[in-house]
Amino acid sequence: MTGVDLTEETIFTWGAPPLKFGAGASDEVGFELSQYGVKRVLIVTDPGISAIGAPQRIADNLRRYEIDSEIFDGVHVEPTDDSMNKATEYARVQGPWDGFVAVGGGSAIDTAKAINLLTSHPGELMDYINKPIGSAKVPPGQLKPLIAVPTTAGTGSESTAMCVLDILSMKVKTGISHWRLRPTLAVIDPLLTLSLPAGVTAASGMDIVCHAVESYTARYYTTFDRKKPEERVTYCGSNPVSDLWCEKAMNLIAQSFRTAVHEGDNLEARSNMMMAATFAGMGFGNSGVHIPHANAYPIAGMVKDYRPADYPQDEPMVPHGESVSLTAPEAFRFSFESAPERHLRAAELMDPRADKVDDPREQLPSVLVSLMRDIGIPNGIGGVGYTEADVPDLVPGTMKQQRLLATCPKTPTEDDIADILTKSVENW
């Protein structure tokens, strides 16, 4: 080949599941699964979603297509290695299963991905966890059909090839990342989000924001070293296809996020946020996220006694969408110089009417802070119980997320991360 630098990457990858989107779409899960010839299905959900009846309605729908199902409602909100192992053991004992349906937020969908992986190819969870925490083993073959039915507008897990969890013994969040984990089909029904309380809507929506903005400002795919085919990873850097999805997600967020939080029964706003979550998932699920997500893992994993509004109060937790947003303004100040035009464009898409600030580096952070204040996100890591004295304990957890940090166009050092966390004790 002529004119190609064989030391630099020239190839990007992009993948997403088929989608079925719209009010009432969850009533068509039975038809969709019947196309795969399955006869026995495990429905994976959490107690809160089970209580509102959506999983049972799907089970009734499956029966019309002569598909037997059982509901497992033991998903832990913000899954852990312990909760995923318990869910997998339940599935193993009650199995075998021909397929799976995940009904819920990212917690339910990610747990279903882990169950599908570990029942299709028996092994240990840590075999598949990303390095350096786990062995990053590659799934050796196909998984069973998995239909993801999200009930929150946030993680985009219905369209990604990742599953995220807390490793309790290490007090750190990490994940499994491989294209085989991606759901077979995403069935997205905005009606399922109408009852979400404002606190959950706000937190999960900030996850969409960070997915879209981090992916859009990620290192461009051509700047990576060239990989062999077997070395290609799910996160390949920002690219022309992921950019399109992220731009559209940010546009939808600008139209509808505040409305979805403050007017929860507004179906148009709810529909737009569900679409934004899926579109952002199609972006970041291929290009990758960077510093805000890397920081989020120790922030969530080392939580002390913070209990967020509108979430289960039985144990301390920082919801994923909150944890990713708390250092985002400062993280984007840090990364600004690596891609100024991207940061400014993201700010414009997120809030077209925002006043221009004198310092261009402050444009995106100011847009984010304004949004976070409007929807009730805590004021920095101090708002969830951390102080400057905790920063040295948080930094190592961030530095373990090398898969994410490598996606930042300006690679941070330990000192950089410490500085970002320190300046994020308060955001306003």
Structural domains in the chain, CATH included, are: 25-188 (3.40.50.1970), 198-423 (1.20.1090.10)
- Assign 220 to helix, strand or coil: strand
Half-sphere exposure of 309 (CA within 13 A, CB side): 11
**How much of the chain is helix, strand and coil, in % rounded to 5?**
55, 10, 35
pLDDT in tens, 126-181: 999 988 889 999 999 999 999 999 999 988 899 888 998 988 888 777 889 899 99
Say whether pLDDT at 100 is over 80.
yes
Backbone angles phi, psi at 99, to 5 degrees: -170, 175
The CA distance from 400 to 133, in Å, is 8
- With a CB cutoff of 8 Å and minimum separation 6, the contacts of 193 are 151, 152, 153, 201, 270, 273, 274
* Chain position carrying tokens 């075998």: 96
Is pLDDT at 1 greater than 50 in this prediction? no
| Edge-first strand listing for the sheet containing 68-72 | 19-21, 185-188, 146-150, 99-104, 40-44, 68-72
Task: Band the pLDDT of 215: cuts 50, 70, 90.
Answer: very high
Cis omega (within 30 of 0) on the bond before 360? no
Q: CA torsion, points 389, 394, 396, 400, in degrees to nearest 10?
A: -170
The mean pLDDT value of the chain amounts to 94
Alpha-helix runs per DSSP H in 95-239 = 106-120, 125-128, 198-216
List pLDDT tens digits, range 227-243: 988 888 888 999 999 99
Q: What is the rounded average pLDDT of the residues 413-417?
A: 98
Asked if 77 and 17 touch (Cβ cutoff 8 Å), the reply is no
Q: Which helix (H) or strand (E) holds 104?
A: strand 99-104
Neighbouring CB atoms inside 10 A of 39's CB total: 14
Q: Phi and psi at residue 217, in whole multiples of 5°?
A: -100, 10
184 in Cβ contact with 145 (< 8 Å): yes
The answer for residues whose C-beta is within 8 angstroms of residue 99's C-beta and 6 or more apart is 33, 36, 38, 41, 144, 145, 146, 147
Q: How far is CA 258 from CA 10, 210, 254, 262, 357, in A?
A: 39, 16, 8, 6, 22
What does DSSP assign to residue 2? Answer: -
pLDDT the model gives residue 253: 98
* Residue range 290-300: mean pLDDT, rounded: 95
Query: What tokens were used for 342?
Result: 């991207």
Q: Is 127 exposed, middle or buried (0-12, 13-18, 19+ CB in 10 A)?
A: middle
Pick from 222, 205, 211: nearest CA to 246: 211
Q: What is the mean pLDDT of residues 405-414?
A: 94
Q: Which pLDDT score is estimated for 84?
A: 96
Give per-residue pLDDT as tens, 6-32. 688 999 999 999 999 999 999 999 999
CB atoms within 10 A of CB 355: 9
- Map residue 102 onto helix, strand or coil: strand
Local confidence band at 4 (pLDDT 50, 70, 90 cut-offs): low
In the numeric block, which tokens belong to residue 252? 């939808």
Question: What does the pLDDT look like over 312-367, one tens digit per residue?
Answer: 888 899 999 999 999 999 999 999 999 999 999 999 999 999 998 999 999 999 99
pLDDT value for 5: 63
CA distances, 311 to each of 180, 221, 234, 307, 352 (Å): 31, 38, 31, 8, 32
CB under 8 Å to 341, separation ≥6 — which residues?
none
Place of tokens 């400062």: 330
Q: State pTM to two decimals.
A: 0.93
